[in-house]
Amino acid sequence: MKTNQFSSSSSSSPSDRRIGALLRHLTAETDADRVSSVFASPTSGGTGGSVFAHLVQAPEDPILGVTVAYNKDPSPIKLNLGVGAYRTEEGKPLVLNVVRKAEQQLVNDRSRIKEYLPIVGLGEFNKLSAKLILGADSPAIRENRVTTVECLSGTGSLRVGGEFLARHYHQKTIYIPQPTWGNHPKIFTLAGLSVKTYRYYDPSTRGLNFQGLLEDLGAAPQGSIVLLHACAHNPTGVDPTLEQWEQIRKLMRSKGLMPFFDSAYQGFASGSLDTDAKPIRMFVADGGELLVAQSYAKNMGLYGERVGALSIVCKAADVAGRVESQLKLVIRPMYSNPPIHGASIVAVILRDRNLFNEWTLELKAMADRIISMRKQLFEALRSRGTPGDWTHIIKQIGMFTFTGLNPAQVAFMTKEYHIYMTSDGRISMAGLSSKTVPHLADAIHAVVTKAV
């Protein structure tokens, strides 16, 4: 047997000795043993059926599956309004200019290396992300009460935060709005929380069911976790007003409900990063604790870089330190440590005043183009005399319009017009352009006048 670093010796530790014994045991196996064990294995080659033969075909994801179906459609007039991903007037994905510049800087810097990041990610990115969402003058940052860890975009931040709460928070129930982003219930269930809903949207007014929301949160057990969309609620495009946020805050704090903000669209609702962060900052200003998951997918167009952050605002600096130590224990066995490239791009942009300002302009331009699409679609329906009240198209906020079209109507529009959207009638306004608005308006007009 070959010697190795785990060979037992009088100076080795008990754990080294255990590993050494295990290795000896494994390598002591004879060739004959190995051959017979390979053929005895149900996973080996041969004539038997697959051990996975019982699997049923899983359905596609309700949102990402729309793109899969769209990609298969050979029609030249097809239109993908499914996934919330920004497109230009030409219908092309957009890499922001500031992102190109930041990447150039990174490439030119020969001192950059590809070592592992720490478990919590890129330190500078974490600091700047906390500042971006909580505000440069945030008392919580000043008092060192915030711990921020880089995670795999918004989804990863929600997942890590969910698992942290499941392990260490006294309440295991999270209330999510009804409706919400379809991945929320799956993320939190797999993180180990139990998921319940609170009323949020009123289909009859196509607005906020504020009364229902207050009643449901008022009836939630003391200390429950509450998932809140920081801005540009997905899929409804309906946000509380600041006055309503203040009432929500008071109610939640009076019952010790733990806010968990999902901020996937900072800057996309109003066009201003600070305005869109106001609800979160109201909850920080009262000195209470909260979690926030940030994503740079939409506002920096870094979808595939998977860059985001989880911040936990605590009441005291020493608590924040211990929270961070526990977050590391969640992250390390999940994916060890996060990727370096996306976080480096964000850090370059956030640290440089000129690049930051340029980013805010590009972000505002994306938000403005979406607002202009809302106006154009609304006008197109009005000019066609399409029955119904379509003012919600211009009232709703953010990337999506929650049209009110039902699954049968959506299916009709996909079949006859090659327009792809989620079956709940949500359309990504960011996927529209002046050229495609008439096609969508024709389809909506046809479907509502046909009584599908």
414 binds ligand KET, rule: CB under 6 A: no
Q: Give whichever of 155 and 344 is closer to ligand KET, judged by the CB atom.
A: 155
Q: Which of 126, 129, 147, 153 binds ligand KET (CB under 6 A)?
A: 153
63 binds ligand KET, rule: CB under 6 A: yes
Query: How far is it, in rounded angstroms, from Cα 167 to Cα 335?
Result: 18
For 325-382, give the DSSP string: HHHHHHHHHHHSS--SHHHHHHHHHHH-HHHHHHHHHHHHHHHHHHHHHHHHHHHHHH
DSSP H helices in 237-289: 242-254, 273-276, 278-285
Q: Which stretch binds ligand KET (CB under 6 A): 130-138, 149-157, 205-213, 377-385?
A: 149-157
x/- track of binding to ligand KET for residues 13-52 (CB under 6 A): ----------------------------------------
Q: Give whichever of 83 and 380 is closer to ligand KET, judged by the CB atom.
A: 83
Kindly compute the dihedral angle of the four CA atoms of residues 427, 430, 435, 437, in this order, to the nearest 10 degrees.
30
Which burial class, exposed, middle or buried, applies to 198 when counting CB atoms under 10 A from its CB (0-12, 13-18, 19+)?
A: buried
262 binds ligand KET, rule: CB under 6 A: yes
308 binds ligand KET, rule: CB under 6 A: yes
343 binds ligand KET, rule: CB under 6 A: no
276 binds ligand KET, rule: CB under 6 A: no
438 sits in which H/E element: helix 437-450
Q: Which of 154, 177, 279, 398 binds ligand KET (CB under 6 A)?
A: 154
311 binds ligand KET, rule: CB under 6 A: no
CA 268 to chain centroid, in Å, comes to: 14
155 binds ligand KET, rule: CB under 6 A: yes
Residues 6+ apart with CB under 8 A from 84: 63, 234, 298, 399, 400, 428, 430
Query: How far is it, in rounded angstroms, from Cα 425 to Cα 452?
Result: 14
DSSP one-letter code for 5: T
297 binds ligand KET, rule: CB under 6 A: yes
Catalytic residue IDs:
181, 262, 298
Q: Give whichever of 264 and 349 is closer to ligand KET, judged by the CB atom.
A: 264
Q: Which parts of this chain interact with ligand KET (CB under 6 A)?
A: 63, 83-84, 153-155, 181, 229, 234, 262, 264, 295, 297, 303, 308
